[in-house]
Chain A
Amino acid sequence: MSTAVAEGKTWGGGNQPLKVSYGKMMMWFFIVSDALTFSGFLAAYGFSRFKFIDAWPIADEVFTHFPFLHGVDAPMYYVAFMTFVLIISSVTMVLAVDAGHHMNKGKVTIYMFLTIIFGLIFVGSQAWEWNTFIKGDYGAIQTKGGNILQFGHYVDKNGEQVFKRVAVRDFAVAAKHQDRTQHVSKNGLWFVDEGTLPTFTMDEVIHGLQANKDVLVRTQIINEEGEKTVLSREESMNQVMKNGRLYVEGANLHVNEYGSPLFADFFFFITGFHGFHVFSGVVLNIIIFFNVVLGTYERRGSYEMVEKVGLYWHFVDLVWVFVFTFFYLV
């Protein structure tokens, strides 16, 4: 074979060295770039966590709720459930791809449908998780330095003294007289707006603390046993009276009753970005589902579109595996 012929064979076009179609390869490259975006977020989370390594919230104590089980301490069970839902949706997706290889329209339809349903269950669960997180649990006091003081007391559990959280609303003395009313633009300056005022004023919390002698303050600082430090009664009163500035309940982008506001910021940003991916995945799946039902791919003679959207869907599952580890487990 002459060089010219060999060159024509190699560079003359029509070669597929990766033995993969253009669309699938581009989906892989998109996944690489998207994986780097998520890594950027998770690495930034790691940065902030390492920066406040001795004061970061403990995830088990933040995510303790399970739907319909009120007051039951169920750390992580719900996220574990969400992880299972997403893995199972991944399985139905790969089964749809497999059925597509066998040109089995009926099976592709069923499995695509199941994938969409599981995807919706996951997005719904995430919405519930957000709602619980935003609404908050026990409430806390923010100091002038932005630190969080939580409350609790020691209770006897099987002969052992265990620290148990107490909600601020359970001990704060609600005075009838509020310090001031909320400023609404229609009553005051029309161009100035104000968010909701805290449920309790500092005075009410302090009076409540004075009336309940067993309530102690728990700071953000993690001690050697890996638990948050509980202050003595005098120190507790001292901290609240001297440094306490604001009653906070729940979490948003500014305040966070569970600890560092950065924790809430990253929670909203990373799980939100992932949830948005799941949502887009569900939309793509629905489009492909209707194409399957209408027989588009049957006529085309190939179910490769199912495969491409499947790659994206698995990637979303893959990202969740990492979010689950770095947000909830580690």
Chain B
Amino acid sequence: MAHEHKLEIFRGLWKFKSNTQKIWGVLIFLSVVTTIEVALGIIKPEWSMAKVLGMKLLNWIFIILTIVKAYYITWDFMHMRDETKGLRRMVVWTAIFLILYLTFILLQEGGYVFEVYDNGFIKRDF
């Protein structure tokens, strides 16, 4: 059975000799990212409290690191890297488009409802 695996991650920066080695490499990478997330979450450094695009910088870092982790889980553990372009796009683009759309609408609406309460049109806090 011929199962071809692409054995490099980080755009060829890190090459592996076998698929097993690549799996351990990805595990190390994911563990490092999780450790950074937890450490940042506990320390909450002063600089990360700055607001960027309406959200704390720290939260942006968390979200970006999450997407990085999701990428490596999908690409290397689920072998998306080895699938054809067609399948990859069918799965990834569909999901990403629909998720972004839904998230945008709901968060926008949630922010609006908050403003309505905040401006005192409806009283909730008693």
Contacts and interface: CB of A to CB of B under 8 A. Distances in A.
Interface of A: 17-20, 25, 28-29, 31-32, 35-36, 39-40, 43-44, 46-54, 60, 75-77, 80, 83-84, 87-88, 90-91, 93-95, 97-98, 101, 103, 143-145, 147, 226, 243, 302, 310-311, 314-315, 317-318, 321-322, 324-325, 328-330
Contacts of B73: 90, 314, 317-318, 321
A318 B34 contact: no
B100 to A, nearest CB: 9
Contacts of B103: 39, 43, 46
Closest 6 CB pairs of A and B: A50-B110, A47-B110, A145-B126, A47-B106, A325-B66, A80-B38
B118 A54 contact: yes
A143 B126 contact: yes
B107 A60 contact: no
Contacts of A314: 73-74, 77-78
B70 interface: yes
A18 B24 CA distance: 28
Contacts of B13: none
Interface string B81-92: 001101100110
Interface residues of B, number: 53
Contacts, number: 145
B74 A318 contact: yes
Contacts of A43: 99, 102-103, 106-107
Per DSSP, chain A at the interface is helix
A169 to B, nearest CB: 27
B118 A315 contact: no
A209 to B, nearest CB: 20
A322 B84 contact: no
Contacts of A98: 19-20, 23
Given A18-B87, A145-B126, A50 B3 contact: no
B76 to A, nearest CB: 8
A50 B114 contact: yes
A19 B30 CA distance: 29
Interface string B18-38: 011001100100110011011
A101 B1 contact: yes
A84 B3 contact: no
Contacts of B114: 50-54
Given A75-B42, A98-B20, A226-B49, A87 B27 contact: yes
Nearest to A31: B91
A51 B84 contact: no
Given A35-B95, A36-B95, A322 B86 contact: no
B124 interface: yes
Nearest to B19: A98
B70 A83 contact: no
Contact of B84 (A18, A44, A302, A330): A18
